[in-house]
Structure 1
Amino acid sequence: MSPSKRSQAGVSRTTPGPTAESAGFAQLVREFLQAQSELGQVLAGHEEDEIPFPAIRALVGDDDRAVLYRLKEKSHALFRSRGLATRAFRREALFDLAVGSLFHESMKLRETLYQRQVYAPRIEQLREAADEELDDALFVEFDRILGKSVSRLGEVVSEVRTLLIQTRDQARRLLVERAGDRFVTRCLLSRRRQVDRVFPEGFAGLLETMHGSTATGLIAGARALLESAYFVDAAQTLREARADPEAPTEEVEQLGLYAEGMQAFLDGRYGDSISTLSAWADLGAPGDEPDFARFAAAALGRLKRLVEEDADGAAIVEDARRLQARLEEAASV
């Protein structure tokens, strides 16, 4: 369901959204994954002397059309002014330095490829069309510049590859430190293909590193989705978590019932919503999840105007009223 339809049904976030810092870091993660994934693919898919200049030009530039530029700027904005007082700040500073170095070495690669693939053919055209008026000494200088460019290509590519690995390893450390931020885990959930390409351990392995188990990480991501009222995505993530033998069955079942009940409400299946949320309440979940309980109670409180023209509207409203009172009481304990 689109955000506009959620609003029409009286459903929005269950809790306040991410903090500015959390949202900023999630944006950094998105830029990082795109940059690492796309640049890594270009380098892995070509020999050093066959890397296409247009592909590198699209990734590396001096404005925000290029993802490596956006990554560098976002990293500087988040971390450059923090200082070095804590271990966490020092790790952020190392990541920022690695990102800056990756950007500048990638710019060197861009310039080198430009000289080889754009500049050199133009010089050859001029040489072939040369007459007495053209200065041979200038062609000698051109050849010297291009010779240096050819000789350093391998070194530049090697440095970029090394920095990709080092930046990735620093990013992993930052992600582990932010394992408690569910919005970061949600960001990884939404980009798992890129995570699989960037991190050797893959998406499941990264969640295990961050959360102790893949199932725990999936549940954290599902909670973030529930808090943002994305119940279908949350339910799908919870089903994936349930398949893990290490998953806490009771927690997954409770959250799954909440997701199912709230999605039924959004779909206009109010009887199903009330029965499913009642089953959720029977498990004692509202006392453990007061924010979710308050959110569900608030939604149920809007049912009267939504079903006033239904034949069974009065019965639905009465069932909703009783469940609403039950949830509000549980949330207040």
Structure 2
Amino acid sequence: MFQAWIHSKRHEFVRDILRDFCTVQQLLERQFLVFDREERVDFEVLRDILGVEMNKGLLWRLKDTSHHLFRSKSSSIFYGQLLDWCLGYIFHETMKLKEDAYQQHSYGERFRCISDEVRGAFGRQLLQELGAVVAQTRESMRREITRIRFIMAACCRLFLEYLPRHKDNTLLARFLYDRNALVRKVFARDYDALINVLYGDHPERMFLLAAQSLDLGGWEREAAMARQKARDIARSA
């Protein structure tokens, strides 16, 4: 029964995985850019992205959706399995980063306050030794961010290999159409390759498939606009 349910929801799951990956990538990258400048990240932002067992955040839900789709008995696709591994790894690295961010913010700030009250040679020596631990937390965060960025980039390459088998997925096409600016930011120079592996010499198919999904949702005006864009692209080809 569960496997049949997974199969029936696969088009939604594929759409959800790409959508949530793109959203998480941008949320995390904003924090990473802050770290590049200021050597800190916002603990509360990471906490919200991850969530908790009883109230899962976006990244946690992404991991779970990936496990449902790629760990089912009917899924033996290598690139899907590897994509699932990468998404799980990102989740756990982000968990570690969140804990380090908490230590840096709470215990790091407290350490600096205590340092202002240092007394005597022994106190200064001990603070110097303990300060090295604080610095190690910062370096740990740097390594975690480097790993997450690397695996995020690997995920983009894996999507290029995995998604072509879903070239007729209307929900996927609609996401690519509705959130095109987001997808372009995430895939950057690989965006054209993404559209090419999905739709080949007929990029207008993305708009036509998106229009089908919009029609089913009752968005007739938006569907007509998508079809017009498809005609414009076909004429200019």
Q: Please, what TM-score do these two structures have when normalized by structure 2?
A: 0.79
Instruction: Note if 1:77 corresponds to 2:65.
Output: no
Q: Distance in 2 between matches of 1:246 and 1:19?
A: 36
Long gaps (5+) in structure 2: 1-6
Shift of 1:58: 3.1
Shift of 1:192: 1.6
Q: Following superposition of structure 1 onto structure 2, how do residues 223-238 of structure 1 map, counting pairs within 5 Å?
A: 223-238=212-227
The 3 A distance-change label for structure 1 pair 200 and 113 is same
The 3 A distance-change label for structure 1 pair 228 and 147 is closer
Structure 2 counterpart of 1:68: 59
Superposed CA RMSD in Å reads 3.1
Tell me if structure 1 keeps the 8 A contact 2:70–2:80: yes
The 3 A distance-change label for structure 1 pair 147 and 37 is closer
Q: Distance in 2 between matches of 1:81 and 1:48?
A: 42
The 3 A distance-change label for structure 1 pair 144 and 168 is same
Shift of 1:61: 4.2
Tell me if structure 1 keeps the 8 A contact 2:177–2:206: no
Structure 2 counterpart of 1:21: 10
Code of the residue aligned with 1:112 in structure 2: it is: D
The 3 A distance-change label for structure 1 pair 231 and 208 is farther
Q: Following superposition of structure 1 onto structure 2, how do residues 227-306 of structure 1 map, counting pairs within 5 Å?
A: 227-245=216-234
Shift of 1:48: 5.8
Instruction: Note if 1:107 corresponds to 2:95.
Output: yes
Q: Distance in 2 between matches of 1:116 and 1:145?
A: 10
The 3 A distance-change label for structure 1 pair 234 and 205 is farther
The 3 A distance-change label for structure 1 pair 23 and 72 is same
Q: Which has the larger displacement, 52-61 or 209-218?
A: 52-61
Q: Give the counterpart of 2:198 among 202, 210, 223.
A: 210
Code of the residue aligned with 1:100 in structure 2: it is: G
SS of residue in 2 equivalent to 1:229: coil
Tell me if structure 2 keeps the 8 A contact 1:216–1:247: no
The 3 A distance-change label for structure 1 pair 78 and 141 is farther
Shift of 1:211: 0.9
Q: Distance in 2 between matches of 1:76 and 1:48?
A: 35
The 3 A distance-change label for structure 1 pair 51 and 238 is farther
Q: Percent identity?
A: 22
Tell me if structure 2 keeps the 8 A contact 1:195–1:202: no
Aligned residues: 226
SS of residue in 2 equivalent to 1:82: coil
Tell me if structure 2 keeps the 8 A contact 1:48–1:153: no
Structure 2 counterpart of 1:251: none
Code of the residue aligned with 2:181 in structure 1: it is: R
Code of the residue aligned with 1:238 in structure 2: it is: R
SS of residue in 1 equivalent to 2:233: coil
Tell me if structure 1 keeps the 8 A contact 2:83–2:155: yes
The 3 A distance-change label for structure 1 pair 222 and 203 is farther
Q: Following superposition of structure 1 onto structure 2, how do residues 1-333 of structure 1 map, counting pairs within 5 Å?
A: 19-44=8-33, 46-47=35-36, 49-54=38-43, 55-63=45-53, 64-82=55-73, 86=76, 89-129=77-117, 142-201=130-189, 206-212=194-200, 213-245=202-234
- Higher helix proportion: 2
Q: Distance in 1 between matches of 2:199 and 2:86?
A: 25
Q: Distance in 1 between matches of 2:67 and 2:140?
A: 28
Structure 2 counterpart of 1:260: none
Q: Please, what TM-score do these two structures have when normalized by structure 1?
A: 0.59
Structure 1 counterpart of 2:3: none
SS of residue in 1 equivalent to 2:73: coil
Q: Distance in 2 between matches of 1:71 and 1:138?
A: 44
The 3 A distance-change label for structure 1 pair 141 and 115 is farther
